[in-house]
Amino acid sequence: MTARPYRLGVLLGDGIGPEIVPASVRVVDAALAAAGAAPVDWHELPLGASAIEEHGSAIPATTMEALADLDGWLLGPHDSAAYPEPFRSQLNPSGAIRKHFDLYANVRPARGFGSGKAIAPDTDLVIVRENTEGFYADRNTFAGTGEYMPTADVAIAMGVFTRPAIERVARAAFELAGRRRKKLTIVHKANVLQLSSGLFKRVCLEVAESYPDIAVDDFHIDAMTVHLLRRAADFDVLVAENMFGDILSDMAGELAGSLGIAPSVNASDDRCMAQAAHGSAPDIAGRGLANPIAMILSSGMLLDWLGTRFGDERAADAAVRVEDGVRAAVQGGVSTRDLGGTASTDEFTDAVVQRITLKESGGRVGATSLMN
Tens digits of per-residue pLDDT, 345-369? 999 999 999 999 986 544 444 445 5
Per-residue pLDDT band for 12 (boundaries 50, 70, 90) equals very high
Annotated catalytic residue, options 41, 222, 234, 270: 222
d(CA 38, CA 157): 47
3-state SS, residue 31: helix
| Alpha carbon distance, N-terminus to C-terminus of the chain | 15
Give the active site residue among 79, 124, 138, 189.
Answer: 189
The DSSP element (H or E) to which 187 belongs, if any, is: strand 183-188
Cβ count within 10 A of residue 124: 18
Which distant-in-sequence residues (6+ apart) come within 8 Å of 243 by Cβ? 134, 135, 136
Distance CA 75, CA 11 (A): 5
In whole angstroms, what is the distance from residue 341 CA to residue 339 CA? 6
Name the active-site residue from 250, 269, 346, 350. 250
Q: Let me know if domain 119-256 sits in CATH 3.40.718.10.
A: yes
Let me know if 317 is a catalytic residue: no
Q: What is the pLDDT of residues 123-145, one digit of tens each?
A: 999 999 999 999 987 777 877 77
Contact of 174 with 207, CB cutoff 8 Å: yes
* Average pLDDT, integer, range 109-120: 80
- Output the DSSP codes for 179-229: HTTSEEEEEE-TTTSTTHHHHHHHHHHHHHTT-TTSEEEEEEHHHHHHHHH
Query: How many beta carbons lie within 10 A of that of residue 354, not counting itself?
Result: 16
User: Where in the chain are the domains?
Assistant: 1-109+257-372, 119-256
**pTM metric for this prediction:** 0.91
Mark whether 283 is an active-site residue: no
- Per DSSP, 91 falls in state P
- Which amino acid would we find at residue 367? A
Using CA atoms, how far apart are residues 8 and 24, in angstroms rounded to an integer?
12
Asked if 345 contacts 23 with a C-beta cutoff of 8 angstroms, the reply is yes
Query: Could you name the CATH architecture of 1-109+257-372?
Result: 3-Layer(aba) Sandwich (3.40)
Count the Cβ atoms, other than its own, within 10 Å of residue 56.
9
Planar angle of CA 294, 45, 56, nearest 5 degrees? 115
pLDDT tens digit sequence for 288-345 = 999 999 999 999 999 999 999 999 999 999 999 999 999 999 999 999 998 889 999 9
Residue 210 has what DSSP assignment?
A: T
Average pLDDT, the chain: 92
**Does residue 250 carry a catalytic annotation?**
yes
Could you tell me if 261 and 293 are in contact, meaning their C-beta atoms sit under 8 angstroms apart? Answer: yes
Separation CA 267–CA 258 (nearest Å): 23
Amino acid at 205: L
Degrees to nearest 5, angle at CA 267 with 261 and 272: 85
Catalytic residue among 14, 79, 246, 317: 246
Catalytic residue flag (residue 136):
yes
Q: In angstroms, rounded to a whole number, what is the distance separating the alpha carbons of residues 344 and 334?
A: 10
Query: What are 258-290's pLDDT values in tens digits?
Result: 888 999 999 999 999 999 989 899 999 999 999
48: left (phi over 0), alpha (psi -120 to 50) or beta: left
Domains 1-109+257-372 and 119-256 alike in fold = yes
